[in-house]
Amino acid sequence: MRDNDGKLGSVLGIYLHRAMRFLPLYMFVLLFFWKFVPLFGNGPMFFEFSEFAQCNERWYWHLLFLNNIIPWAADDNCMGWTWFIANDFQFFLMVPLLCALYYRGHKQYAYLSLGILAVLCVGI
């Protein structure tokens, strides 16, 4: 914002840039893990793979970066360790808005927003 005379730029462009950096590789890894690894798997511990590759029902939540929230009442058995990617993207959605508040001189509102978000996160 300092380099753009206080303008944030296109918020949608910022979000799309971030998503396009993640999505191609993430889609490849999801497809590879879900469809190709079972074709070549073998060994005494390979039976555990079937627990972590149940992607038939919930694969699209991964591509929408919502796999850490949905399904709420059940475990996600499709690459469950990728919850952090969704978590990181969801937190990134707040960054441009909070930066704009802070940069434009509304520091008290930025800090208040951060406090409210922190309380909500702990509460949830």
- Is residue 111 within 8 A of residue 101, CB to CB? The reply is no
Q: Is residue 58 part of a domain?
A: yes
Domain with 81 in it: 11-93
Q: Is residue 29 part of a domain?
A: yes
The answer to whether position 122 is within a domain reads: no
Helix (H, G, I), strand (E, B) or coil at 64: coil
Peptide bond into 96 cis (omega under 30): no
What is the reported pTM? 0.73
Residues 41-85 pLDDT 10s: 777 767 666 666 678 887 888 888 888 888 776 777 788 888 899
Q: What digits encode the pLDDT tens for the residues 83-124?
A: 899 989 988 988 888 888 888 777 888 888 889 988 988 998
